[in-house]
Structure 1
Amino acid sequence: MVNHILLHNISKNFSNQEFTTEVLKNINLTIYGNEYTAIIGPSGSGKSTILSLVGTLDDPTSGQIYFNELDVTSIKKDKLADFRFEQIGFVFQQYHLLPSLTALENVMSPMVPRKVSYDKKGQAEEMLELVGLKDKLNSLPSQLSGGQQQRVAIARALVHKPKWILADEPTGNLDVESSENIFALLKSIHQEYQIGVVFVTHDSEFASRSDRIIELRDGSIVADYRKGDPT
């Protein structure tokens, strides 16, 4: 069975004392792990909100989200962190590296409070080598370029060998060459390690080179097409 994520009748509202804003409206969508999937749309369309919900960082106002047959919206809060650790790696536009830690320590950080069956340091070194930073293990984030920092963030997302990588504007802060390198790295990881990749982007060129493009506007899916579909 292909790994998949199912969003069933998902809505998300944000409320304050005066207003309620409907950010996502009755989303029904299945994302497959064997597809490199781009989510596009203008600012405020709900792209990052979908990623946050799929990543179990937030709860939908209504609806269910399934990872294969598991309804993650029913998992108790104290168990969600374990689920995320086992299943999901996150890559963000802002990198979110800890400035006082080396590249190696940043990659090891998700494993620090956990018991694992493998050597933590060895696993982190392996991931940094995978992303081309074998010679930067002891460098602080301030000693790395933006592209190198994003590679550290990708290594950190991969260190527990998740089933899915969720990337929110992973090239948004990078120059053209670094953006191309990060896009290519994520795609090679997807293909070589059979890790599902879902990435939010404003870059239409990168989106056009994905296997599937899901387009949002005003909280609704307005287009959903795959490479090779008739235009």
Structure 2
Amino acid sequence: MTALAHALRINVSIAHHDPYVATGIAALLRSSTDFTVQPESLGEVDVVVADYSTGMLRAAAPRRGAAKVASLLIVSEQDRGWQIRRAVDAGVRGYLLQDCSANELADAVRCVAGGRRYLSRSAADRVLDTLVQSVPTAREFEVLQHMACGLGNKNIGRLLGISEGTVKTHVKTILAKLGEQTRTGAITEAIRRGLLDARHPLADVPLSA
């Protein structure tokens, strides 16, 4: 391999929690001549391919000490519009659903390595669906999370340092934005939209009025 060809290769690290998926991604990328798959410990990488949880953690806390920040590409079964939108908002450069083709995976890696964004068509469609839905504010999202934890208005207000009346107003707005009439319905709809993770501990606690 010439020095120029080596310089043009894209260095990719796989950080997917599912070892079978990680092995498959690595094999697909190694079958192309323009990718080098390697652990980050062996040197700087251009792209990190990760599952949803790992990708979101990496977006929130980029690897320290690296001369450059690798672009993040998520390959995941998480297909709800709000989940994808939250990933993009967090700084993830690309998002593919796990049933993507080998060609699409390669195209996505090349795209994000070049500093551009890449959403699979199905992921993009789901994000577009969220644009017509009302978005909870940051404070409303905090209230929503505590609602999912089963806390009543008084306790939520105490934790957030706001009055019980203010919490009631936020709850009323949350219900309206989610198109539900009850807290239980709102939590269920928030999970369906991907605003809350069904596997998150907050969603496992019985709800209270």
Range into which the TM-score falls when normalised by the shorter chain: under 0.3
- Max Rg structure: 2
TM-score by length of 1: 0.26
Higher relative contact order (CA 8 A, sep 6+): 1
> Where is the helix percentage greater, Structure 1 or Structure 2?
2
TM-score by length of structure 2 reads 0.27
* Structure number with higher strand proportion: 1
